[in-house]
Amino acid sequence: MPRLTITLSEERHRALKEAAARRNESIGALIEESLESYGIKTRESAAALVARSRQAAALDEETAQALAIEETRRQRG
């Protein structure tokens, strides 16, 4: 698994550690969850989302993908 180094203020790092401890999760798990909720998805999960949406809505691939992109942009604000 790739590793990433980021620079945080002492206050932000402390808050992140405390939040992870309160939830009994790792800092990495908390960051993964935050990225997911922000709408940052892997290519595979985005493709699966499009496929499920297309199947449920009976849309062609182009229309389903356009709707998925629109929804992703809306979620990101």
Residue 64 buriedness (CB in 10 A; 0-12 / 13-18 / 19+): buried
Q: What is the mean pLDDT of residues 25-41?
A: 88
Mean pLDDT score across all residues of the chain: 86
Residue type, 11: E
Residue of 23 and 73 predicted with greater confidence: 23
Per-residue confidence band for 6, with pLDDT thresholds at 50, 70 and 90:
very high
| Global model pTM greater than 0.75 | no
User: Burial letters for 25-35: b for 16+ Cβ neighbours within 10 Å, e otherwise?
Assistant: eeeeebeeeee
Highest mean pLDDT among 1-10, 36-45, 55-64: 1-10
**pLDDT > 70: what percent of the chain?**
99
